[in-house]
Amino acid sequence: MITLPCLFKGSKHALLFVGFSALQASSSFGQFWQWSTHFGGGGHDFGYIGAVDQAGNVYSYGQYAGSGPGQAYDMIIGEDTLHGSEAGFVAKHDAEGDYVWSVNCVAPTGTMSVSAMTLDTANDVLIIAGGHSRTSMIGNFQLPDSGAYLAWISVNGVCLNAQNIGSPRTGVSALALHDEDICIAGVTSDGQSLQIGGQSIQPGSFIARFHTDGTPVWAKNMILGFSSQNVRYFPSKILSSGSDLLVFGTAMQQPEAGTFDMDTVHVNVNAGGGCALISMDSETGSAQWIRLLGYGPTGGWSPTIKNVIDVDDHGNAYVTLTVSGDSVHFAPDTVVHVPSGHSLPCLVKYTPAGELSTFRTFGLDAGFSALSKEESGTLLMMASFLDSSSVDVCSSQDGTWLVRLDTSGNCLGSVPVALNTPPWQDDASGLSINPTPDGIYLSAATPYSPQFSTITFAGESVTSHGWEDVLLAKCALSLGVGTKSMEDTEQLLIYANPNNGSFRIQVPDALVHERQLLLSIHDGSGRMVYQAPLKMTGAEPELDLHNLTPGIYEVTLGNAKRVYHGSMVVE
């Protein structure tokens, strides 16, 4: 067992220890993957899965010929070539992964983005959104002027309509359906006479609601203003949750401390960067609460942090982030300190009221890049492993993996997506996961470098068309089973077990003479219900916690050198 210390500050909080096990090889590629495909051009291309219909057709969207080394144009997809630079696309692949059609979204003398997509409730029209800087073409449909836009594309690949919904210098970065209406969020650049849906707004981030025909309902600002480097808040994901809207995005406050203000909600923000989650009333857009997460003095701003959040049927939000640096905040009393030169993946859960109810860390130098909740309630994540890092007991070798966890962060299974081929350390970046009753669909990108790299993705050899390519695949619902050998497990003995909240702990010999021991207890949902230094009154200290409700609890005892785990049942 390897243990790595991370400081967890707060009321009755002392040290939070991150433990992980020796890694074992998982099952082979072939038995899990049903199909895979890729497409791209000479530049930087990336894509997300926006929808999977009932027939298993996959609809993707994204950007191609993005800025990077050299000048890049065009994208090859199936038998077609999309012509353009810094342009967007929408594409359809059938249930077997075969290419069906694509729609080029391009501003011939400017730039155009396709930043978000959803499938309407009738499952026959795709709704896309983004921004453009010049008169643009969406397939054969001309969109004049510039600014934020909405467009409607049939499942047969025909642009039915498109309209500008914002003034120049505005763009949409997130979209979701809510009660059959279209909710969007986005950003503006600095300027005057800005508007969304006919409503005047100030520079910064905004949110708006439209009927499905594009008629505006309301529009308003979110976080105003700019930092010295970029926008202060970049919304990248909207989720519909009951009568509420949840907006997730990256945040930055530079060069000095300040406040994030929206309506009557005000949050003090130190200089730095990270992410923010905002809850709003869907009828009016009024802010209910703002939570900073993964926020620290060395945090940065990134619009690519997108599909790392999902909500369950009860309105609980699950978020996964990979953080680094000192004093990274997830709540006022929840702070982690990551050793210099390392990164730390985290899984957090917020209640509908914005309370942090679960906080779980994993092995250093692993990384999470996508999350999605399955109908059964389990979580799917795209994880990257480096230098023998891990997620709970899921075994791996360096590379990118698809991992299934329960809501407490315990690994239930994993399968390799792309394994590393030295000397390149990143073989694929996971971008989106779409679970269905028929299988798990995902998108990823080939490495940022080298050019024309060759990797093994979903069991197939893939050579990129340039720098980054779009990767799509479908995986079986059954993943490899995460395993942990007994020799790697530090077991904590608890008795009586079951008990009524009164129990003894047999302190392992390796800890008997240690002075600084921390005892932590988590319930079945992963919520910490007790944490305090353990007062040594002998080799078998007794605890009396009659406030614990009946259920299964995980008990952890240790220090910076070693951590022991056990479970108990309270009746």
Q: Do residues 207 and 279 make contact, with C-beta atoms less than 8 angstroms apart?
A: no
**CA 465/CA 463 separation, integer angstroms:** 7
For residue 289, pLDDT over 90 is answered with yes
For residue 393, pLDDT over 70 is answered with no
| DSSP E strand boundaries for 165-296 | 170-178, 181-188, 195-196, 199-200, 204-210, 216-224, 233-241, 244-253, 258-262, 265-269, 272-281, 287-296
Averaging pLDDT over each range in 93-107, 229-243, 423-437, 448-462, which range is the top one? 93-107
Q: How far lies 355's CA from each of 292, 420, 464, 523, in Å?
A: 12, 38, 44, 16
Confidence of residue 153 (pLDDT cuts 50, 70, 90): very high
Model pLDDT, residue 483: 37
For residue 447, pLDDT over 70 is answered with yes
Residues counted in the chain:
571
Least trusted range by pLDDT, from 174-183, 202-211, 449-458 = 449-458
For residue 164, pLDDT over 90 is answered with yes
Q: How far lies 205's CA from each of 38, 118, 234, 261, in Å?
A: 33, 21, 7, 12
**CA 309/CA 168 separation, integer angstroms:** 30
Model pLDDT, residue 325: 80
Least trusted range by pLDDT, from 129-143, 254-268, 337-351, 517-531 = 517-531
Query: What does DSSP say about strands 112-119 and 125-132: parallel, antiparallel, or unpaired?
Result: antiparallel
Q: Stretch 100-124: mean pLDDT, rounded?
A: 95
Model pLDDT, residue 18: 30
For residue 167, pLDDT over 80 is answered with yes
pLDDT digits (tens, 9 = 90+) for 479-522: 754 433 333 335 678 888 888 989 888 888 877 777 667 788 87
Model pLDDT, residue 418: 84
Q: Do residues 108 and 83 make contact, with C-beta atoms less than 8 angstroms apart?
A: no
Q: Which residue has the tokens 């982690």?
A: 336
Q: What are phi and psi of 487, to 5 degrees?
A: -70, -15
Give every CB contact of residue 376 below 8 A, 6+ residues apart in sequence.
none
Higher pLDDT, 12 or 59: 59
- For the full predicted model, state whether its pTM sits above 0.95: no
**CA 372/CA 216 separation, integer angstroms:** 30
Mean confidence (pLDDT) of the chain: 83
Model pLDDT, residue 257: 87
Tally the C-alpha atoms within 13 A of residue 105's C-alpha that lie toward its C-beta. 29
Confidence of residue 422 (pLDDT cuts 50, 70, 90): low
Query: Please, is 353 exposed, middle or buried when counting C-beta atoms within 10 Å of its C-beta (0-12, 13-18, 19+)?
Result: exposed
pLDDT digits (tens, 9 = 90+) for 19-74: 222 223 233 445 688 999 999 998 889 999 999 999 999 999 999 998 766 667 89
Tokens standing for 121? 């409730």
Percentage of the residues of the chain whose pLDDT score is greater than 70:
84
For residue 147, pLDDT over 80 is answered with yes
Higher pLDDT, 228 or 158: 158
Tokens standing for 18? 């991150």
For residue 130, pLDDT over 90 is answered with yes
For residue 527, pLDDT over 80 is answered with no
pLDDT digits (tens, 9 = 90+) for 246-285: 999 998 888 788 899 999 999 998 888 889 999 999 999 9
Query: What does DSSP say about strands 411-419 and 399-405: parallel, antiparallel, or unpaired?
Result: antiparallel
Averaging pLDDT over each range in 133-142, 187-196, 256-265, which range is the top one? 133-142
Higher pLDDT, 553 or 538: 553
For residue 387, pLDDT over 80 is answered with no
**CA 113/CA 132 separation, integer angstroms:** 6
Model pLDDT, residue 364: 74
Confidence of residue 146 (pLDDT cuts 50, 70, 90): very high
Q: What are phi and psi of 244, to 5 degrees?
A: -110, 165
For residue 306, pLDDT over 50 is answered with yes
Q: Stretch 391-408: mean pLDDT, rounded?
A: 76
Q: Which amino acid is at 316?
A: N
Q: Stretch 526-537: mean pLDDT, rounded?
A: 73
Least trusted range by pLDDT, from 351-355, 449-453, 494-498, 560-564 = 560-564
Tokens standing for 367? 């990384």
Q: What are phi and psi of 53, to 5 degrees?
A: -85, 180
Which residue in 32, 40, 80, 36 sits closest to 58, CA to CA?
36
Q: Do residues 369 and 306 make contact, with C-beta atoms less than 8 angstroms apart?
A: no
For residue 99, pLDDT over 70 is answered with yes
